[in-house]
Structure 1
């Protein structure tokens, strides 16, 4: 007999398992969003603010669960982020917050995400240390042994899901990005390094200081 699936493909047993909340410690949120439009659609990377959000996903360290928001839920998403002691993302300052900021103006919220939310951008930190950028996928493969979802070989994958109306798959893809972002950060926090590969294929380690206590 086939398993009964829930809203996002979970089995009934999976749905029944409630997250165990944590009562103490800083509230760290890991955040990622997907967009309606590509850089090409909006005339280049200088126009990230025109890309528009499709879905955003937050994982909360105290609630120990994912929170999912669609475009109509932006106000709730922002309020969720404002409850965090620390928000962690990958290219979050240049990309995710830049996509979100125009919605705040539409909602008449006088609030600058970059200035007023305590945020740690792993990509910025890696660039500061190496003076070149590494993708989340690259770091996940070499540090965690993980990849993004099957078929997600390009940043255009999420756009295709949106255009095809496959919102359930899009949410799952975004959740996976957040999960990888979280696990990469926690690995770096615990071990004080992440792994990557040189252009010649040599395995390397990068020392990082990602202690939550130092970032909150």
Structure 2
């Protein structure tokens, strides 16, 4: 069985605080993952990230939503290598290739799964500032569950849905979340240390 990890991060600050595109100035508050290998959800605070690295290094593929352009670049502030070199499926990237535009995770979840997110990233930053860890963890884990469920739906049905605001309907579009042959049974250990 393929060892895949679904990931989502929350931050202590926002691009409004540090300037657009300054991933190197964003700080992690919490990282949540779902590990297919043991069918478990886990959460890691900033001080616990050292415990996350072995999971990612042993993953055959990392799955996220905007992970290539947000989650992994922010995590690279803490990791000695380059997490973006690890095999990954950024679902938003794949969706943009098909549709030509980006979709919010919440819109995709509502149209495909009939589920809504339990909050947003700005609320999570506010919760961090107030020390409300339970709220951050619930929100982050909910996002991981939604991402996992969308991944599985797309992988099994070869399509997802998005809301068409003009016609007030939902429209299907094709996706290919299948595992590349190069990853099948790879038993990967991903290391990208800079030496």
**TM > 0.5 fold call:** yes
1:175 to 131, 136, 141: 141
Q: Deviations over 1:175-207 (max 9, x none)?
A: 000000000000000111001112313321011
Q: Which has the higher contact order (CA 8 A, sep 6+)?
A: 2
2:163 to 197, 201, 208: 197
Structure exhibiting the larger radius of gyration computed from Cα positions: 1
Secondary structure of the 2:17 match is coil
2:116 to 129, 136, 147: 147
Most deviating of 205-214 and 174-183: 205-214
Q: Are the equivalent residues in 1 in contact too, given 2:8–2:143 (CA < 8 A)?
A: yes
Matches of 1:146 and 1:168, distance apart in 2: 21
Q: Deviations over 1:82-136 (max 9, x none)?
A: 11111100000100111111212xxxx3x21111x11110000011111100011
Give, in angstroms, the shift of residue 51 of structure 1: 1.1
Aligned to 1:207: 174
1:29 aligns with 2:44: no
Q: Are the equivalent residues in 1 in contact too, given 2:89–2:177 (CA < 8 A)?
A: no
Structure 1 portions without partners, runs of 5+ = 1-24
Report the TM-score, using the length of structure 2 for normalisation.
0.89
Q: Deviations over 1:142-166 (max 9, x none)?
A: 00000111xx2x4311111111110
Aligned to 1:112: 82
Matches of 2:131 and 2:181, distance apart in 1: 42
Aligned to 1:17: none
Aligned to 1:125: 94
Runs of 4+ in 1 over 6 A off after TM superposition: none
Aligned to 1:9: none
Report the TM-score, using the length of structure 1 for normalisation.
0.81
Structure 2 portions without partners, runs of 5+ = 184-195
Matched length: 182
Q: Are the equivalent residues in 2 in contact too, given 1:35–1:51 (CA < 8 A)?
A: yes
